[in-house]
Amino acid sequence: MSTQPIPASNDTHATDLGASTQPLLEIRDLSRSFGGIQAVTNVSLEIYSGESVGLIGPNGAGKTTLFNCICGTLAPDTGRILFEGSDITNLPVFRRASRGIGRTFQRLELFSSMTVREHLIVAARAKRGSGRLWKDLLNLGAPTRSEIAQAQTLVELLELADVASAPVDTLSLGKGRLVELGRALIRDPKLLLLDEPSSGLDSIETDSLIDTLVTLQSATNMAIVIVEHDLDVVVELTNRLYVLDLGKLIAQGETQSVIEGEELRSAYLGNVRDSSKP
């Protein structure tokens, strides 16, 4: 993959930022369980504006649960979530979205019969609070010039012009993921949570996605937090990492250092004994 580097943002940088600037997102001692199974245990982390941070770990580590708590689809059992210094722990999903938290999903959340452009227009209306979903689905509300222009900008940015008028159920999985990304981006998020964004994308689409995110981040100072199993994507896009295993935070720091660390190896492979040693 080739893309322009994002300015470095390691732990030291984050500490320096913290001395003068509050985190965009701060999670304090967050825990969440399901039926006696502890999915997330006392996790704390900080995300600053303009950062690109990875949240990685093996399946079942608690990554998506943490995302759901940040977005408000799940309530934590304990702990607090602060956004721009305000406690949002008990805010509903739509209020968090209106404050600037955007999200894509591991499973596509799209309306199969709607076109690419229609998805983006509905998202633009939802941002302004002017949309009525039933009205849009029944085609009773003609799009404005502004809505059409916003949608077209993202269609071109995500290289979806050739399928802009196609229903999303005719698209490949990779194209569908780009539509979902566009729907999140049209709301101009301050914090964008990406859940497995490269899943279903080929190498060309993945490179394009990374280039798009880097360009947007440079222009908007948007913070990105990415859950991703493809570590090549993680290394290419992020500056810092948090590693979860069995719901607990086991490592954090500058991306390359964490990738090379023993904690990550143990989380993915277990404590495998080196047979070359007695």
DSSP string, 121-182: HHHHHHHHT---HHHHHTT-SPPPHHHHHHHHHHHHHTT-GGGTTSBGGGS-HHHHHHHHHH
Q: What is the pLDDT of residue 272?
A: 40
Q: Could you read off the pLDDT of 222-274 as tens digits, one per residue?
A: 999 999 988 899 999 999 999 999 999 999 999 999 998 888 877 776 644 44
If you average pLDDT over residues 198-225, what whole number do you get?
A: 85
The more confidently predicted of residues 77 and 172 is: 77
Q: What is the pLDDT of residue 11?
A: 40
Would you place residue 55 in the very low, low, confident or very high pLDDT band (cuts 50, 70, 90)? very high
Residue 234 in contact with residue 29, Cβ under 8 Å?
A: no
Q: What is the pLDDT of residue 53?
A: 97
Q: What is the pLDDT of residue 224?
A: 96
If you average pLDDT over residues 52-59, what whole number do you get?
A: 93
Q: What is the pLDDT of residue 158?
A: 84
- pLDDT-above-70 percentage for the chain: 81
Would you place residue 99 in the very low, low, confident or very high pLDDT band (cuts 50, 70, 90)? very high
Q: What is the pLDDT of residue 9?
A: 37
Q: In what order do the strands lie in the sheet with 25-34?
A: 37-47, 25-34, 78-83, 86-87
Q: What is the pLDDT of residue 138?
A: 45
Q: What is the pLDDT of residue 140?
A: 43
Q: What is the pLDDT of residue 277?
A: 41
Q: What is the pLDDT of residue 19?
A: 39
Which residues have CB under 8 Å from 71's CB, separation 6+? 93, 96, 97, 101, 103, 193
Please give the mean pLDDT across all residues of the chain. Answer: 82
In whole angstroms, what is the distance from residue 238 CA to residue 116 CA? 28
- pLDDT-above-90 percentage for the chain: 40
Q: What is the pLDDT of residue 86?
A: 96
Most confident stretch, 10-14, 65-69, 109-113, 143-147: 65-69
Would you place residue 278 in the very low, low, confident or very high pLDDT band (cuts 50, 70, 90)? very low
Distances in whole angstroms, Cα of residue 98 to Cα of each of 71, 88, 175, 232 = 11, 12, 26, 32
If you average pLDDT over residues 16-21, what whole number do you get?
A: 49
Whether the per-residue pLDDT at 159 is higher than 90: the answer is: no
Would you place residue 167 in the very low, low, confident or very high pLDDT band (cuts 50, 70, 90)? confident
Would you place residue 141 in the very low, low, confident or very high pLDDT band (cuts 50, 70, 90)? low
Whether the per-residue pLDDT at 108 is higher than 80: the answer is: no
